[in-house]
Amino acid sequence: MRVCIVYDSRHGTTEKMTEAIKEAIEKYANVEVRRVSEVATLKGCELIIVGTPIYYERPLKSILEFLEEHSTELEKKKAAIFIVCFAVVFGSLVRWHIQNHYIKPLMERIPGEVIDTLVLRGGIGNVSEDEIGKAKRWAIGLLDF
């Protein structure tokens, strides 16, 4: 299986998560990691993992634009989304907000099958080992879809 991880990062936290995800699955799949500005095509990718931080209460514009520009290619692909945000610390109080303001705008731009989403807790350049472990377990589970 060929997995393409497409991400953007402002302060390095999402990039750290991307590397952890790659590390977790690279022994089971052919994994390509690209910053969103480096992706010309998704040809040959069977699973697309999209990662973005939440910055000023929204996914990064570069990721949203990428999903719109590649919507035709995404129609025929399986996709998974992960976000990194601080709002998770507020627990169930913000679950609806995270789903509707962070995840939904990403899902609406992916016409293909979104097999799973993941919300990770992170701050500017800061991520815990627990969250890295969570991201790795999630990524391995994606290969079963």
**Residue 127 pLDDT grade (very low, low, confident, very high; cuts 50, 70, 90):** confident
pLDDT at 43: 95
Residue partners of 106: CB distance under 8 A and separation at least 6: 50, 52, 59, 63, 64, 67, 81, 83
* pLDDT at position 129 over 90: yes
The predicted-structure confidence for 7-46, as pLDDT tens digits, reads as follows 999 989 999 999 999 999 999 999 999 999 999 999 999 9
pLDDT of residue 18: 97
Identify the helix (H) or strand (E) that includes residue 7.
strand 2-7
Q: What is the pTM assigned to this prediction?
A: 0.94
CA 104 to chain CA centroid, nearest Å: 13
Give the per-residue pLDDT at 92.
75
Task: Count CB neighbours of 111 within 10 A.
Answer: 15
